[in-house]
Amino acid sequence: MVAQLEYVKRVEPLMKDMAKTHGSTFTFDHLPLQQGGSLSPVTIAYETWGTLNDTGDNVILITHALTGDSHAHDPAHPGNCKMAWWNPLIGPGRVFDTDRYFVICSNVIGSCYGSTGPTSPDPRTGRPYGMRFPVITIRDMVRAQHRLIEHLGVRHLAMVAGGSIGGQQALEWGVLYPDLMDKVVVIAATAALTAQAIAFNEVGRQAIMADPNWYCGDYWPGSGPSTGLAIARMLAMITYQSEEVMEQRFARKPVQQAMAPSPANTPELGGRFDVENYLYHQGNRLVERFDANSYLYLSRAMDLYDVSEGYPSLEFALRRLQSKLLLIGIRSDFLFPAAHVRWLAEKVRSLGGDATYIELDSPHGHDAFLKDWDQLTIALQQF
């Protein structure tokens, strides 16, 4: 019991801090959706850093991952990589240089950090959409971002850059609006998810929807399927890392830190390994800051993404690319295997496109795009 109290005391302030919404919002009337139907109205939460020039073309658009938000940079804490998810890459003199560029990051539709998503009121009922929210895709996210940059007076993008689902968005930008940007940076993302990655996502979703507190998505805000969401996050955290780095960090050590409650609040069977405690902790943290229905919709958008969708072939889709493309794979990533990222670069080149492939020699798995700042900086500087 002491361990439990201590845990709550240490974690809660952090949770509240992370759940803050930042920046501005832009609302527009209507967004037709790739899978049919539409969303209206649509609100996009966003942040910007730096100044837009008179010609409206000194712009870098940053796109975020599954549970991310618009807070890619925190000028008040530029040295703290925990205060904003791409903080070390953004700022004066950094690779995304806010002295030269107008840097934009918006929260994707379907999310719960200020943009329209399942927690938003459904205008037909005035109550949260829940599972009446329509199926959205990476292309829908990109189309909504396009409306935002038009609203901000942007005429041309110097670069679109993102990792993971953010990388899928960056690639989609290049294919959907080929003449609108000079450069595209796709990190730890591919043309489409593997069967294995879809499978992992679906296990997580089943865990959420099996939680009796999910109520088919109609839980009250602030409550909901916290056990299921924590289990989904535990699994996702394994796929974001690698066997190698988990062995370095945890191996078979017994629990080392304050005991976190397990999602199902269950008895232990022969002790607790440190890796289990870590995953409980990560599960609990996500529950405090993220909406379960948003998790379902955004992870599904990740599965459904296929850059060739709606075109006669993959080649046809990739031939649309006009910008310079930088594809960054991560040696130890098993969610978006480096070999698939490299394959995409070679495919684009074989079709006459300008694609560069760089591989991060990192043990951190998929999460390297949020950790290996030095390697990322070098890769981006060279581009």
- Residues of this chain that bind a second copy (CB under 8 A): 35, 131, 135, 137, 192-196, 198-200, 202-203, 205-207, 209-212, 216, 227-228, 230-231, 234-235, 238, 241-243, 246-247, 249-252, 262-264, 266-267, 269-271, 273, 275-276, 279, 296-297, 300, 303-304, 306, 334, 337
Q: 3-state class of 102 per DSSP?
A: strand
The smaller minimum CB distance to a second copy, of residues 174 and 228, is found at: 228
DSSP characters over 232-264: HHHHHHHHHS-HHHHHHHTTTPBP-SSPPPPTT
Pick the closer one to a second copy by CB: 271 or 352. Answer: 271
If DSSP codes are grouped into helix, strand and coil, which group holds residue 227? helix
Least distance to a second copy, CB of residue 236, Å: 10
Of 8 and 216, which CB lies nearer to a second copy in the complex structure?
Answer: 216
Considering beta carbons, is residue 18 or 314 the nearer one to a second copy? 314
Q: Which of 137, 112, 152, 120 is nearest to 42 (CA)?
A: 120
Was 331 annotated as part of a binding site? Answer: no
Question: Is 367 annotated as belonging to a binding site?
Answer: yes
Q: How far is CA 290 from CA 18, 224, 327, in A?
A: 10, 11, 29
Cα–Cα distance measured from residue 24 to residue 29, given in angstroms and rounded to the nearest whole number: 17
Strands 102-106 and 59-63: parallel
Amino acid, res. 381 = Q
CB of 242 to a second copy, least distance (A): 8
* Nearest distance in Å: CB 235, a second copy: 5
Nearest to 356 by CA among 346, 370, 371, 365: 346
Catalytic residues: 164, 333, 366
How far apart are CB 311 and a second copy at their closest, in Å? Answer: 15
Angle at 150 between CA 140 and CA 321, to 5 degrees: 60
Annotated binding site for substrate: 233, 367
Annotated binding site: 233, 367
